[in-house]
Amino acid sequence: MSLKKVTDEAGDTLTLLDVDGFLFAPDLPEDVIRGLRHFPFRDDDVMVCSYPKSGCHWVWEILRMLQEETIDVAVHEKEGLMMEWRTPEFMDKFPSPRVLNNHVLLRHLNPELFSKKIKIVMVVRNPKDVAVSFYHHHKKLVEYEYNGQFTNYVRNYLDGKVDSCCVFDYTRDWEKEIEEHPAHPILLLCYEDMKENLFHEVKKIGNFLGKSFEDAFYQKIADKCTFSKMRDRKGAVHKELENNIFYRKGEVGDWKNWFTVAQSEWCDRICEEKMAGSKIRFRYTLDNNRETNNNDTGS
């Protein structure tokens, strides 16, 4: 295993896994990562992709309810069907239709997904709130062995010296692939839009899947997927983690409590440079500070 110590501005180190120059969580199986280029997709698979801490778990849960056509789905964590965690043999035990998920670049995946027309749901979240959530993730999961301060963490985050590379490089890489496959079934979701009107976004996902449920069912899913209900129902799976990092805060705009003005402006400059030509516009606040749901399933 090729573990790498990444040093922040104060000298604290973050332990990561280096696979062919790309950084991943340190406890991921290297052989599984390398095997993703040959992962055997099924024609009816649905795949959620997102940068870490951007709402992948949240959307994965919603997709499961839509695919199984019930809000009473079994209690599972998304790692059970996370492509960089599990071998194809393990994944093959799950019945169709599978809801897969990952935090990897598309270049790491089997290109067969395009010929099979695998439905892809991509989730984006504003990079400043992601930074705060990712920082707490790195601090509280012992395998990262990180004890640094946020102010010294930001540079490595913006430089992509964290698992899943730079948030802007990740987002732009996926967007370019989407643009190159205009006929492929791909749905782009915004974390902040989901916070603002979850019912609307759940219905959008249902339409993308070709479902035709009554509005009452979409509302039931939205109600079932509030932060408090997901934490109560699923948080026990990670009860060994202090303060349960997989269900932290999820607020839009929490970054204002962490970023200095200079760091915020620095992030904006990097975003402008790396996202040049992008059609994606990050939302750093909610309109009228209105939040109709309070979810932080941003793992």
Choose among 256, 243, 227: nearest CA to 129.
256
Which CA distances in Å does 279 have to 43, 79, 176, 188, 275? 29, 30, 10, 11, 9
Which CA distances in Å does 70 have to 66, 212, 221, 251? 7, 13, 8, 28
**Burial, 284: exposed, middle or buried (Cβ in 10 Å; 0-12, 13-18, 19+)?**
middle
167-170: long-range pairs with CB below 8 Å, 24+:
167/51, 167/127, 167/130, 167/131, 168/127, 168/270, 168/271, 168/274, 168/275, 169/274, 170/51, 170/105
**Burial, 96: exposed, middle or buried (Cβ in 10 Å; 0-12, 13-18, 19+)?**
exposed
Q: Tokens 């805060």 — which residue? A: 249
Q: Tokens 């732009």 — which residue? A: 172
Which of 38, 57, 76, 103 is labelled catalytic? 103
- What residues contact 89, with CB distance under 8 A and at least 6 apart? none
Pairing type for strands 119-124 and 99-102 reads unpaired
Q: Is 238 among the residues known to form the active site?
A: no
What 3-state DSSP class applies to 218? helix
Strands, sheet with 3-7, edge to edge from the N-terminal-most edge strand? 3-7, 13-19, 22-24
CB atoms within 10 A of CB 72: 7
Which residues participate in catalysis according to the annotation?
103
